[in-house]
Structure 1
Amino acid sequence: MIRINLFPFRAARIKENIRRQITYYFGSVIIILLAITYFYMNFSKQINSLSHVVVAPPYLYIDRYFYKIFP
């Protein structure tokens, strides 16, 4: 009976699977970092655009109300 040594084939397949898993891991990490960077830049741009809007203090509304009642 002839015995076929499949160990080199299995070892190569295991190495390829490890390589594939490492590639998937680093690819997903890069995609997640790009998404986080995109959302950070987008939100910071929105915050900067809102910081230029001048919001009137609440007492101005009360003063306007009293000026209408007591001119």
Structure 2
Amino acid sequence: MLKTGVVIFFSGTGNTKHIAKLFKKSFDKENIKIDLIDIQKNGSINKEYDFYIFGAPIHAEMTPKIFTVTNSL
């Protein structure tokens, strides 16, 4: 059973951050703990989760570089 998850996101304008918070609120209703990680403020994950959700805007049909650089997490 899923008990803990994380939403890792990049939000240039705040829209993706808003959606990340909506995910958290929805999972909270199901008693599933969700952490939010803003990749601009925290580029690492310090613990393991049952599942991961990634969120980023699309810029010119691609995700932003900050979100796709493999050594950032």
- Identify the TM-score tier after normalising by the shorter chain: under 0.3
What TM-score, normalized by structure 2, do the two folds share?
0.25
Q: Which has the higher contact order (CA 8 A, sep 6+)?
A: 2
Greater radius of gyration (CA): 1
What TM-score, normalized by structure 1, do the two folds share?
0.26
Return the structure number with greater strand share. Answer: 2
